[in-house]
């Protein structure tokens, strides 16, 4: 499945001011399309940006920004979209990919608490022009997604340059404190609640293998209970 994001909207609430050094343009952070594909080894995600950008000279060929992909299951999960300052408008994520040109991570939440998150095999990033392809260990399935694009910083622990009200040629400036860190989010045209209300709607339709497995176990449990009841009634008739 492929989702398209409006172009020319990589300025947060519309008023974010990019740093002057290094020279990073809005197009380098502008989400164009997001594609999710199943493969034998897991899900593969493709993110196309408005323009290629590698101001920090990453070997991967991409260092202008940071892509966060939160993968939603059909039930439960963590609502806080960690590291972004945003909250899921509904539902919660089970997998979180944090993608930079210098290394990427994948975390999974199997309960409803971020403290239960586990580290999975690191995603593999390949860059071709303005397209990022990310091969992951997320089990093949049908999911919904939250996708964000933030500015990269080598001085931040997680590689994200967060907005500030401080004026400087090195900062990402915003009009208010604690503004969301992404400059662009995957959203329907006209949906600005990520930057005005702090909530982001997912795209796609979730039906994950984790919940499906639980449902299957539940069905087997019910079937076993029914079969046991039938067996006991038959036994009682013969006594």
Nearest to 195 by CA among 77, 97, 82, 87: 87
Q: How far is CA 52 from CA 65, 82, 158, 174, in A?
A: 10, 26, 21, 24
pLDDT for 209: 52
Sheet with 199-200, strands from edge to edge, namely 80-81, 86-88, 199-200
Cβ partners under 8 Å of residue 2, min gap 6: 33, 34, 35
Q: What angle do CA 124, 129, 132 make, to 5 degrees?
A: 30
pLDDT for 208: 55
Structural element, H or E, at residue 172: strand 172-173
Q: Which option is the CATH number for 2-207: 1.10.3720.10, 2.60.40.1190, 3.20.20.10, 3.40.50.720?
A: 2.60.40.1190
Per-residue pLDDT of the chain (239 residues; tens, 9 = 90+): 999 999 999 999 999 999 999 999 999 999 999 999 999 899 999 999 999 999 999 999 999 999 999 999 877 799 999 999 999 999 999 999 999 999 999 999 987 778 879 999 999 999 999 999 999 999 999 999 999 999 999 999 999 999 999 999 999 999 999 999 999 999 999 999 999 999 999 999 877 554 444 334 343 343 344 444 544 454 355 44
Name the pTM for this structure. 0.86
Nearest to 195 by CA among 205, 185, 210, 209: 185
Decide if 66 contacts 159 (C-beta within 8 A).
yes
Nearest to 200 by CA among 220, 189, 186: 186
Separation between Cα atoms, residue 228 and residue 68, nearest integer Å: 48
pLDDT for 227: 42
Decide if 37 contacts 138 (C-beta within 8 A).
no
pLDDT for 75: 78
pLDDT for 206: 79
pLDDT for 235: 39
3-state class (DSSP) for residue 108: strand
Side-chain half-sphere of 21: how many Cα atoms within 13 Å? 4
Nearest to 136 by CA among 146, 121, 118, 158: 121
């Amino acid at each position: 499945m492929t989702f398209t994001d409006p172009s020319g909207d990589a300025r947060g609430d519309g008023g974010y001011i990019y740093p002057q050094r290094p020279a990073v343009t809005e197009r380098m952070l502008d989400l164009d399309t997001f594609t999710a594909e199943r493969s034998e080894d897991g899900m593969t995600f493709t993110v196309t940006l408005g323009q290629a950008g590698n101001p920090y000279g990453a070997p991967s060929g991409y260092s202008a920004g940071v892509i966060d992909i939160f993968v939603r299951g059909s039930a439960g999960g963590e609502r806080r979209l960690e590291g972004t300052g945003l909250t899921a408008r509904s539902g919660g994520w089970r997998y979180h990919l944090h993608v930079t040109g210098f290394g990427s991570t994948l975390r999974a939440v199997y309960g409803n608490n971020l403290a239960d998150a586990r580290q999975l095999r690191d995603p593999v990033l390949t860059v071709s022009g303005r397209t990022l392809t990310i091969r992951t260990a997320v089990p093949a399935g049908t999911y919904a997604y939250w996708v964000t694009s933030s500015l990269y910083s080598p001085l931040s622990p997680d590689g994200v340059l967060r907005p500030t009200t401080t004026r400087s040629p090195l900062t990402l400036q915003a009009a208010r404190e604690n503004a969301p860190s992404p400059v662009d989010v995957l959203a329907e045209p006209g949906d600005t609640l990520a930057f005005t209300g702090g909530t982001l709607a997912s795209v796609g339709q979730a039906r994950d293998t984790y919940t499906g497995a639980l449902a299957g176990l539940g069905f087997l449990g019910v079937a076993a209970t029914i079969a046991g009841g039938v067996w006991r009634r038959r036994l009682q008739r013969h006594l």
